Amino acid sequence: MSIFAVEYVYDPEQEDLRAEHRPEHRGWLEQLVEQGVVLASGPFVDGSGALLVVASGSEAELNSVLAQDPFAREGVISAVKTAAWNPIIGVFKDHV
């Protein structure tokens, strides 16, 4: 299992649409936390996007999971950047 850092970039013009779908988005994230897929998630304080730390078997599997996000379905994410991450210190090191 690999860990990925996922950065969502939000379009400020779509804040109302994000707010409308935020409860469903957070419910989706909470289910993934219960499954051990999402290790951490939260928005950037400036509202420009969010960071997700995700455990996944492959980048293809990760992309399949991210495609199910209500925010992705509604088109309120402007850009997504994913990167495999190798935590060697801290709480995530045992997930590698």
**Residue 92 is assigned to a structural domain of this protein:** no
pLDDT at 65: 96
Question: Which CATH number fits the domain that encloses residue 72?
Answer: 3.30.70.1060
Domain count of the fold of the chain: 1
What is the residue-level pLDDT of the chain in tens, covering all 96 positions? Answer: 899 999 999 999 999 999 999 999 999 999 999 999 999 999 999 999 999 999 999 999 999 999 999 999 999 999 999 999 999 998 877 765
Domain holding 9, by residue range, is 2-87
**Residue 39 is assigned to a structural domain of this protein:** yes
Contacts of 93 (CB under 8 A, 6+ apart): 87
**Residue 75 is assigned to a structural domain of this protein:** yes
What gap in Å lies between CA 90 and CA 22, rounded to an integer?
Answer: 29
